[in-house]
A and B are shown apart, each in its own frame.
Chain A
């Protein structure tokens, strides 16, 4: 068992390399395809043409594209993502500062989503076609549909402006984490609840569940110990995908709550045409997705011993 696992992980990592190489080329070309000259954007409207040209040279943007790409790629391979065009700070430092905030938010909201979503899903499936089921599904539908910026502002108005229980925005104490994590978890919780309910309902109709019941096991034991475990595979897939998305895509929530995460850094880098930062973040996102997918696949095996590494 141990040897195949190591080989499996190694093979998956090797498979990811061409993907990541493709990402470097795609992001390199895409940032240069969108209109907007970094020299002019960074120097501002009042700067003279001479200063803009000087900045372009400083940033190496006067070099031919293939040369720029080779330099960039060589840097990436040696772990050097270059300097931010705006702040002249190593891109890896800029990303590192934001990564902590992003991780904190993504992990917390995923934990909320798993805890609340799975519980709600189990309740809904157990009390299928009752008031409990309908209530859970209506709330879940709301969770999927409500825009995060609206939910965020509403939570802020209630808990920060009226009740004064929690800070409205920013980062610092654990209290600062509550509202953005809840806002961000709303969508994932709803998805997880729906997925758990559907998958569990299906499992509850299978023969082995009937067998378990026939053996005289308590209903909750049947549901939690036997059915749920078998129903979790699609739920884990969804949680993995959601977590990957949260790591990279929490831009709206981060903006609404002034949370200094990677999503916001990416948006501000795009509006400043800070090529090195955009490139660095996209590569990091891609790498994180690869890792999250790998971990998800490994989790399948832990949950369901019938699944084997190939």
Chain B
């Protein structure tokens, strides 16, 4: 009896020792598990539309050049150096030698030509084709030299080549997989640090470390992206230890996660500017003073702090900080001054305010529906009675793409982000009169011929200083015309287990965890 008890104790002790040892001797897990909010729509670089999907594709495929966000410039990747002709129409790239695709075939000039010819082929689905539409022809000079001939000068061309859409595909792998199947199969097709292994629809995407990678080898043998659509579930899975990193846990939990000793919250500002568009062709909003009054009426800092848990930075210009050409118009953002707002409304002939409808999506941007209600409450203080309504995203898109004679928009929440860090994306996309719906997506219907001229010139000249001046003028003019209530640039964030280190967030809403380490 006594012996039995001793034996049982021994077993228990051994078990405890074993589990204790397991806890202590945790080396890096073989598979790094990351919970993402959406399943991929396509693995084909050419078909990319969403940064989170592009983020996963980046593990497998690489572009000629990459964005060095810290230095604010374009850095070498598959191309080691490049020269640009004086007229900005010819780009000559020297390619990195000794690089092979994961299928073992060499990366060379032919692969580059194959990739870009495919992007320019109208039969290929390329939603972001504007990134490459300046290219007239790609010529192979020798195995490691490629020349791009442009049809028009494009100041953002080099930056455009940093985006996943233009990542280089192995012609041999593409042939083997079948061009149409690149959507769901990337076996051996990229040069990236990880090779594609499997994609189980709605469940996960698995990549394994590529033994032939030309650059520094990452720590983890495999990376698994698990599809977890619910933000609360992602957070729970992190806390339960099912995954090591999650994108965007629920915003209201961010403060609590920051205090959790087992979790690291990684966040950074991005280029996504959140604004309330004012339909400049609707009723009272045709008057600039009314639109300025709307800006004075809103305490952005207070809303950012109490409703968005400080997950953003108030903007000081229509183009957020960190973009090429950004020039602060008003330090600290548009001042909060309800007295001035009321005064402007009186001047414009609305001493008793007016009623306005206010559309917002729900769950598209951080706390969107919630902050819209805070904005409506503050507008009420100056006599503007805004009624907030929301709808699911595709219906919302139908609203914001309606032509001016049919639009129901009066004021509306929208977030705008571009894939390269240049003011052209937001300024041309949102304020050039050619971009009014249904042609484009500038539903404030802002029109100013002077601004149009500046923006046209800025996207065709390659003179860096001149572009800066043009953008500075445009930002100032737009700010004063106030076709938006200028709010904030949104942060992007992930939460990781404490052991995972070296994860960062890029300004285009991607995480960078390829060289993450385990402690």
Contact = CB atoms under 8 A, between A and B. Distances in A.
Interface of A: 34-37, 40-51, 54-55, 58, 86-89, 94, 97-98, 101, 153, 156-157, 160-161, 164, 167-171, 255-258, 260-261, 264-265, 268, 271-273
A169 B203 CA distance: 10
Interface in B198-236: 200-204, 226-230, 232-233, 236
Interface of B: 35, 39, 41-42, 49-50, 122, 125-130, 180, 183-184, 200-204, 226-230, 232-233, 236-237, 239-242, 392-395, 397-399, 401, 416, 418-419, 429, 438-441
A88 B228 CA distance: 22
Contact of A43 (B122, B127, B202, B429): B127
A170 B226 contact: yes
Ranked nearest first, the 7 interchain pairs of A and B with the lowest CB-CB distance are A36-B394, A260-B202, A44-B49, A160-B240, A35-B398, A47-B127, A43-B127
A168 to B, nearest CB: 4
B52 to A, nearest CB: 12
12 contacts: A37-B394, A51-B127, A86-B42, A94-B201, A160-B237, A161-B239, A167-B240, A169-B237, A258-B35, A260-B203, A264-B229, A265-B202
Contact of B227 (A34, A36, A161, A258): A258
Contacts, number: 144
Contacts of B230: 255-256, 258
A239 B68 CA distance: 60
Contacts of B125: 55, 58
Contacts of A44: 49-50, 127-128
Contacts of B392: 271
A169 B440 contact: no
A37 B377 CA distance: 33
B232 A160 contact: no
Contacts of A171: 203
B240 A37 contact: no
Given A46-B418, A47-B127, A260-B203, A36 B395 contact: yes
A41 B184 CA distance: 20
A47 B240 contact: no
Contacts of B239: 161
A30 to B, nearest CB: 14
A46 B438 CA distance: 13
Nearest to B418: A46
Contact of B395 (A34, A49, A89, A265): A34
A94 B199 CA distance: 12
B228 A169 contact: yes
A168 B183 contact: no
A106 B228 CA distance: 20
Contact of A54 (B122, B401, B439): B122
B200 A97 contact: yes
A170 B395 CA distance: 30
A157 B49 CA distance: 35
A40 B397 CA distance: 8
A36 B398 contact: yes
Nearest to B227: A258
B273 to A, nearest CB: 13
Contact of A258 (B184, B226, B240): B226
A143 to B, nearest CB: 22
A255 B242 contact: no
B201 A268 contact: no
Given A45-B397, A45-B441, A156 B50 contact: no
A271 B394 contact: yes
